[in-house]
Amino acid sequence: MSFLLQKIKLDPNLMMQPRQQEMHKTLRQIMLAFGLWPAEAMDGKEWKWSKMHAVLLHGLFSFLPILDVIYLYNDQTATFNKTCQMYTNVALNLILIIRVLIVRTETYKQLVLKFYKEVHLSNYCFHTDTTMKILHKTERKCYTLFLFVMTLLTLGPIFYSFTPALSNFLNGAFKENSTMELESPVYIALPFDYRRNLKNWCSLVGFYAYLAVGFSYLTLIFDMFMFFYVIHLMSHLEVLVAELSVLSSDKLKLTREEDDAMFDEMKKIINHHISVLNALHLLELVFGPVMLGNYAYDSVACCILLVVLFDWPMGFIAFAVLAVVVFFQLIGESYAMEQLSTSMDGLHRAVCNVSWTGMSKRNKQTYYLLVLCTQKPYVFNAVFVFVNLHNMAAILKSITSYFIWLKTMGSHNN
């Protein structure tokens, strides 16, 4: 672990060259391997091995829900907890398909390109000591998030894929003359019996371990990139607030040079703010459907996940990391978008606090335009649902209610 931390640590000398940082190099390699990196737009060429692997993996995830549904339809003897586990897998596959479709759109390619060409704060053209401090702080936040996600990516597939093997071992299902059914990490319709045949079961577990790794990386790396994008956008807003401090002046009348300098500064701030708004619009186009899918999953299937999680102890071991990921997405994404809205409001308050009485008529008109540009409140719109803490709280409340109801129903069925 220490070797990995040493390899991907941040280099302060490369803050202005993000793609040379080991963290971003590692991120690119992961995104390339799982079809998340628009190679032609970013590198000027396609990588055939990456494209073939991505097509294979995306095709498997698109086909898996069909096999899940067929198995659910045919298996009428499944226990309540096993049925909940299968419904959880179906729902997870469906929200993954949304990401698979999004990464193939032109808007997604534009977003990745825009992040490295414009949104990453190293691309800001007028760096000062203040903005460099903001850049360093921003990259440290991204680095911390990267380490957290990589930890989840290491633990999640291991616990989820191999917990059934531990359960089978403890139940004696691996014994030579055992008649017990083998527990599996996934239940799908296949032409061979993997619940009583050990060789078939091993083949399925090995195959699903690969799928679990693919699912984890596709989901978490995709969402982590969104967090990177949002963190840098908030840093741009912090830079805008810092820029506004040079506009305030206690003088009753400015000289011509001071007036011209203030006019140029306000034009720079307005253009900077417009670029932030354009980046936000692209963010909504790409991640809006994903956020909607996440909210839909959290509202409908998260309570089922909790039922499986509290199937002590094997359910907890298998689904603990997944539960952390799901609630991290729900709370983290809602909090990030709420903070983005707060940063936009903070920018407007900073604009309103600028002393404008000593400005010329031209600068007052420009300042009025700046006030108009920043006064509209911002809330992230996921197609037709607002992503904020209020809706997050409502979802958590519904999850708790449905979880209690399902546990009660499950205890009666058992």
Question: Is 304 in contact with 84 (CB distance < 8 Å)?
Answer: yes
- List of the chain residues with pLDDT < 50: 1-5
Angle at 174 between CA 173 and CA 177, to 5 degrees: 80
Question: Is 39 in contact with 22 (CB distance < 8 Å)?
Answer: no
Tell me what pLDDT residue 8 has.
57
What is the rounded CA–CA span in Å between residue 297 and residue 327? 11
What is the rounded CA–CA span in Å between residue 111 and residue 117? 10
What is the rounded CA–CA span in Å between residue 135 and residue 141? 10
Tell me what pLDDT residue 1 has.
45
What is the rounded CA–CA span in Å between residue 322 and residue 297? 13
Q: How far is CA 14 from the centre of its chain?
A: 25
Q: Which of 152, 285, 289 is nearest to 221 (CA)?
A: 152
What is the rounded CA–CA span in Å between residue 95 and residue 339? 25
- What's the whole-model pTM score? 0.89
Task: Give strand pairing partners of 382.
Answer: 385
Angle at 64 between CA 62 and CA 66, to 5 degrees: 95
Region for residue 112 given its phi and psi (left: phi exceeds 0; alpha: psi -120 to 50; beta: otherwise): alpha
What is the rounded CA–CA span in Å between residue 91 and residue 114? 31
Helix or strand run (H / E) with residue 382: strand 381-382
Q: Which of 166, 184, 209, 163 is nearest to 75 (CA)?
A: 184
What is the rounded CA–CA span in Å between residue 166 and residue 278? 51
In this structure, what token pair is assigned to residue 251?
């003088």
What is the rounded CA–CA span in Å between residue 312 and residue 318? 10
What is the rounded CA–CA span in Å between residue 213 and residue 365? 56
Place of tokens 């729900």: 330
